[in-house]
Chains A and B, each alone.
Chain A
């Protein structure tokens, strides 16, 4: 899925990008690629974990600005957690299963959220 975004580059970020010759959109893309609950929890020790940690910290801090359905969040995160259950014996095969199960749960969560949000449209039919 693609999305066009408009960003204000801060001075410090702009300076760094210019010095290291990094395109801001490339940087943002790389960061986005890292943000994944299934990937993080199926193998928490991997190097590209910082994107997800940043996201988790972000939703912790911006709690008031996030409008999330608590019931669905509790339900699906609990299911997610049960499926992951701290994948400590991270054999490649186990990681793979974990990853796909986790991603499946996230898809179901999204589906449930969208259904919930469009409920007002279908309710009065």
Chain B
């Protein structure tokens, strides 16, 4: 397990393809995911766009690892502080008071998160900066670091779990069938559409890309006659992969 910390984050090919098709940077998507994971939203049961999806991703990842009860060796010296502050956040999350907006309540949790953050030992997320490659970094906020230590997960594990569920081919294959894309993909699609992003820059498309998007629309309709979900996804996967390879041939 110790070795995991030093390994670089593995970015699945399907995720790269998805970012390439929707023209978003990999780092930007991951940063938005990180920024939407908070202790507060982990306890708040109502839906808040982005935050709920982010936190659910985390919960599923933790469940998959089989560590539902937080203990963590990072918290061995501050068990009281942890339980006290978690309790405070829980009270805040369940409190319903007129005029209290979720954003306000979320910002009130900052001091509780800070207390845990300052008291805990850091094994899993020792630094606040995470290197994606030589030049790209992600910023791990206090909330995310606390969650990593609480559940004994490396940031890499959360991020890789998130990325592994994003596949444009699988999501598009569901269209017109009785199936729905998973919620992590839906979250990604929101980001691609501008959620949490500074999407004011104009995108310039080459002729080749314009042709691709036209063909993409057609092929999504064409697969209507393929009734097997897996076969549909395979046709789309091959098509999207070719696009990705052409776009990144050098």
Question: Which residues of A does B touch, CB under 8 Å?
Answer: 37, 41, 44, 49, 53, 56-57, 59-60, 63, 73-74, 77-78, 80-81, 84
- Report chain A residues within 8 Å CB of B221: 53, 56-57, 60
From residue B218, how far is it (CB to closest CB) to chain A in Å?
6
Is residue B227 within 8 Å, beta carbon to beta carbon, of the partner chain?
yes
Question: Which residues of B does A touch, CB under 8 Å?
Answer: 175-176, 218, 221-222, 224-228
From residue A41, how far is it (CB to closest CB) to chain B in Å?
7
CA distance A59 to B222 in the complex (A): 12
Taking a contact as CB atoms under 8 Å apart, the answer to whether A81 and B227 are in contact is: yes
- Report chain B residues within 8 Å CB of A84: 225
Taking a contact as CB atoms under 8 Å apart, the answer to whether B218 and A78 are in contact is: no
From residue B222, how far is it (CB to closest CB) to chain A in Å?
7
Closest 8 A-B residue pairs measured CB to CB? A56-B221, A81-B225, A74-B227, A77-B225, A60-B176, A78-B227, A56-B224, A77-B227
Taking a contact as CB atoms under 8 Å apart, the answer to whether A53 and B227 are in contact is: no
Taking a contact as CB atoms under 8 Å apart, the answer to whether A80 and B224 are in contact is: no
CA distance A78 to B225 in the complex (A): 7
Neighbour of A73 across the interface among B218, B226, B227, CB < 8 A: B227
- Report chain A residues within 8 Å CB of B175: 60
- Report chain A residues within 8 Å CB of B227: 73-74, 77-78, 81
CA distance A80 to B226 in the complex (A): 9
From residue B224, how far is it (CB to closest CB) to chain A in Å?
5
Neighbour of B224 across the interface among A44, A49, A77, CB < 8 A: A77
Apart from A77-B224, A77-B227, A81-B227, list 11 A-B contacts with CB within 8 A.
A37-B225, A41-B225, A44-B218, A49-B218, A53-B221, A56-B224, A60-B221, A63-B176, A74-B227, A78-B228, A84-B225
CA distance A49 to B219 in the complex (A): 12
CA distance A106 to B231 in the complex (A): 21
- Report chain A residues within 8 Å CB of B228: 78
Chain B CB count within 10 A is highest, among A57, A80, A84, for: A57
Neighbour of B218 across the interface among A53, A63, A74, CB < 8 A: A53
- Report chain B residues within 8 Å CB of A80: 225
Taking a contact as CB atoms under 8 Å apart, the answer to whether A60 and B224 are in contact is: yes
CA distance A16 to B225 in the complex (A): 34
What is the chain A residue whose CB lies nearest that of B227? A74
From residue A71, how far is it (CB to closest CB) to chain B in Å?
10
- Report chain A residues within 8 Å CB of B222: 41, 44, 56
From residue A34, how far is it (CB to closest CB) to chain B in Å?
14
CA distance A74 to B226 in the complex (A): 8
CA distance A63 to B225 in the complex (A): 15
From residue A78, how far is it (CB to closest CB) to chain B in Å?
5
What is the chain B residue whose CB lies nearest that of A70? B178
A-B contact pairs, 6 of them (CB 8 A): A53-B221, A56-B221, A60-B176, A63-B176, A78-B226, A81-B227
What is the chain A residue whose CB lies nearest that of B226? A81
From residue A29, how far is it (CB to closest CB) to chain B in Å?
23
- Report chain B residues within 8 Å CB of A56: 221-222, 224
From residue A59, how far is it (CB to closest CB) to chain B in Å?
7
From residue B179, how far is it (CB to closest CB) to chain A in Å?
13
- Report chain A residues within 8 Å CB of B224: 56, 59-60, 77
